[in-house]
Amino acid sequence: MATIEEIEHRWAEAGRLIALLALLEYAYPQVIEEIKGTKISGTNLLNMVAYALDFDSRHWADKAVTWIESGFPIDAEICDQLLKISASKNDTQALRHRSLKQAKRWQRATAT
């Protein structure tokens, strides 16, 4: 597994979201601590999670949902992606259920 420093270096060189996907192999709280003072921003992480949810390899979608379950803050776009996953018969039942649970949690939290 690539170190967070290696991932940051790849990100700095390429500037492509695919370079950040390996961060999903680490626990969300650990990444937040270790990216302080790096070129990786919270916006980069938000974009990376959105990218992972749509990535062809469902491994990354599963890892992104794990981050969301661990407290990663999402927005309406990611909520919509989670709802899309929850309705997709191409994804596993476990991933669909976890995605729906996180989407509903966000919807309840943002309801006015």
Rg of the chain taking only CA atoms, in angstroms = 14
**Number of helices (H) and strands (E), helices first, in the chain?**
6, 0
Tally of structural domains, the chain: 1
For the segment 87-101, what is each residue's pLDDT rounded down to a tens digit? 999 999 999 999 999
What is the domain range of residue 67? 4-110
For the segment 45-81, what is each residue's pLDDT rounded down to a tens digit? 999 999 999 999 999 999 999 999 999 999 999 999 9
For the segment 12-44, what is each residue's pLDDT rounded down to a tens digit? 999 999 999 999 999 999 999 999 989 999 999
105 class by beta-carbon count within 10 Å (0-12 exposed, 13-18 middle, 19+ buried): middle
Query: pTM for this one?
Result: 0.94
Q: How far is CA 78 from CA 62, 84, 100, in A?
A: 14, 10, 12
